[in-house]
Amino acid sequence: MNDKTVSDINVTMKNENDKLTENEKIKIVAVKSSDGEKISLNKKVFLEDNVEEWLRELKSAVSEEISELSLRAIHEVEVNMPFEELTQKYPTQVCHLSTLYYWSMEIESGIQKLKHDRKALSIQTNYLRDLLDSICQRKIKECSDFEWRRTIKCYLLPDADDIPKPHLVILNNNLPYGGEFSGSCPNIIVTPATDKCFLFIAQAIYDIQAVCLVGPTEVGKKETLMLPNVNPSVAFFMTVTVQLSSDWHFPQKVKSVFRTVSLIKPDAFWILKGNFFSSGFKGANFLAGRLLEIASLARNHLPSMYSSRFHLSSLISTVKRAFQIQLSRDEKSWEKLENILRPESQVSTSTSKASLGSTSRQSQISSGARNSLSAAHVKKTDLKILIQAIEESLSLGMDADTFSRFQTLKLVKINPLTVDDFELMFGGLDSNEQLVDGLFTSVFKKANRNTSKTWITLDASVNPGWMDYLVSAMIHLKNGDIIYMNENVKLFLETDNIQSASPTILSKLGLIYVDGIVGWELLAKTWIKTRKNRKIIANGNPNLNDMEEILMQCFQTTIEGVVKFLKTKVKHSTYVTEVGMFTNCLQMLTLLLSDKLELAGNVHVKKLFLFCLIWAFGGHLNEEDRKSFSSFLLESRTNV
């Protein structure tokens, strides 16, 4: 065992809390890593006086136990045991080895049969998935190709006693798996830089040559040597820390003995991606890119005393902290928050019902559809309600297991105007004339691969800029490739007008028009109906007026005047709508008029309404317009 492993492993002893008799010996029955992973030993080790002797026996017992578990896991993988059951039954490093074995066997089988869907063969682990993408891009057709031989693989090969044991193979090197206990925490994130180091180190071992690993600090030199957990007969390594190549001064006689391997600092993107993936976050590529972008902006715009804090270690700590928060999150609190933020009214009108039916029919007839109406109306609500209704209708007569396996509907929303360069949205070519997918093309390709039904919604005002890119992407990409839309994918465009839309795109889409009849009156009536009938308590006596009647009277006497004033007297810094501002007012009223609130009377209710009215309709105004809005409310307060 190396020093790191010994220091991180605790031994579990029998009778460790009991009093020992004179002739009784202490037994080591299990080993436990610092991260909590535990392995029970079939072969018990006695603590003798000679430390070297019992430590050697302990190392041998742990190695035998891990080798036995590895063989058992590999055999169960061969009979198609689900990967979820494998992770619950075996230690982490045994699962890693069995995954590598299964991956090696399936990829070789795919190469020999020249399958085109080799991506579906791998278990979705981060490193193996990226490695498989690289193999597919290189178009390997034979197992003897160098690109496949240079990859670390796992095989069951017979040892000297003709007993099959796991071996790691890279190039001509056949190294038996040492079975050293390492726990579940990864020592290093495997990147293309470490892949090259493994190749050079393996070649040096094969040539019976010592290895000198050279690189700056914090690049993982020691961890790189420890990661290939194999047991060669003899290997001699030396690590040298240098910051620049000019600092590498070493006697020539020593250099001639060692095989020099340079380890450069790996790309931070790969490190963060591996940490996000291991923490269970979805979209590890996207999150890693965004986190690096934030760090880059901080280093460029913040003073040096603050920007120096945005280094790789702090970013990794951020990922780990986010993972801890995710684990400790209370689901009930999120349900409560969702209830608070959920709109209190789902206005049901003849137009909205018609639009739901039209959307459903258009989704079956055409692969594309367009919802066209004024902003802040019920376009998004229509799609959400329609998806919910379809899923509920499908779930009727199905048990939970059957419905969970059934194709579900997913709604993906994209705003093409969130980027300045439309190539980031619809893809472009890099310096090597290779296609780089944009946000839309990446989502579109992923939706085509999924078995679930996906509705992609482009929510933005139609203009020739992004529409031309969309039309081009739907015909063919910039590298000449064509992406086809399968039956599981539907495309929706949400806009308030179609004046700038070209006839080409209109001819390919079904048009759904929803009349803008939803005003604040319908929202107010629907919201009032959802409120429970409740009497206002004033001075210990119930008031004759219902709270709902008081609020409805306030709505009718103030909202029209406020909306007219905002439309004619002030300039808005952002795009706002009557329905949107009134919805915010209702949501604030819902929070303030909770069941636990003790109301003092009609005046108390009206004051709460005025508070919500001021912030919902005037919160976005600038300082000058706020003064005029305040004067208007003071003049018209007699209506309330």
Report the chain's terminal Cα–Cα distance, integer Å. 81
pLDDT tens column, 193-236: 666 676 667 767 666 666 666 666 555 555 555 544 444 455 65
Q: How many CA within 13 A on the CB side of residue 346?
A: 9
Q: What is the pLDDT of residue 257?
A: 59
Closest by CA to 590, choosing from 548, 560, 619, is 548
Res. 565 pLDDT band, cuts 50 70 90: confident
Query: What integer is the mean pLDDT of 538-550?
Result: 57
- DSSP assignment, residue 29? E
162 Rama class: left (phi>0) / alpha (psi -120 to 50) / beta:
left
Pairing of strands 541-546, 535-538: antiparallel
* Structure tokens that stand for 332 in this block: 């009930």
DSSP letter for each residue of 122-159: S---HHHHHHHHHHHHHT--STTSHHHHTS-EEEEEE-
- State pLDDT tens for residues 101-145: 887 777 777 666 654 444 333 333 455 556 655 666 666 667 777
Identify the band that residue 389 occupies on the pLDDT scale cut at 50, 70 and 90.
low
Q: Is residue 381 very low, low, confident or very high in pLDDT (cuts 50, 70, 90)?
A: low
Please enumerate, as own/partner, the contacts of 220-223 that have beta carbons within 8 Å and a separation of 24 or more.
Answer: 220/187, 220/188, 220/194, 220/263, 220/266, 221/263, 223/187, 223/188
CB 107 within 8 A of CB 160: no
- pLDDT above 70 for 600: no
User: Using CA atoms, how far apart are residues 448 and 454, in angstroms rounded to an integer?
Assistant: 8
Tens digits of residue pLDDT in 8-55: 455 555 554 455 455 567 788 888 877 777 888 888 788 776 777 888
CATH number of 348-513: 3.40.50.300
Residue type, 173: N
- Tell me how far apart the alpha carbons of residues 583 and 579 are, in angstroms, rounded to a whole number: 6
Instruction: Give the start-end residues of each E strand in 421-465.
Output: 428-429, 435-436, 453-459
Query: Quick one: 161 exposed, middle or buried, by C-beta within 10 A (0-12, 13-18, 19+)?
Result: exposed
Residue 529 or residue 185, greater confidence: 529
241 and 212 in contact (C-beta within 8 Å)? no
From start to end of 282-397, where are the E strands?
Answer: 368-372
Q: What is the pLDDT of residues 432-467, one digit of tens each?
A: 778 888 888 888 888 888 777 888 888 777 777 787
Q: Where in the chain is the domain with CATH 3.40.50.300?
A: 348-513
Q: What is the average pLDDT across 56-74?
A: 84
Q: How far apart are the C-alpha atoms of 214 and 240, rounded to whole Å? A: 5
- Separation between Cα atoms, residue 554 and residue 545, nearest integer Å: 13
- Percent of the chain whose pLDDT exceeds 70: 57
pLDDT category, 578, cuts 50, 70, 90?
confident
Please state, in angstroms and rounded to a whole number, the distance separating the CA atoms of residues 376 and 578. Answer: 9
Cα 479 to Cα 295, 445, 483, distances in angstroms:
33, 15, 11
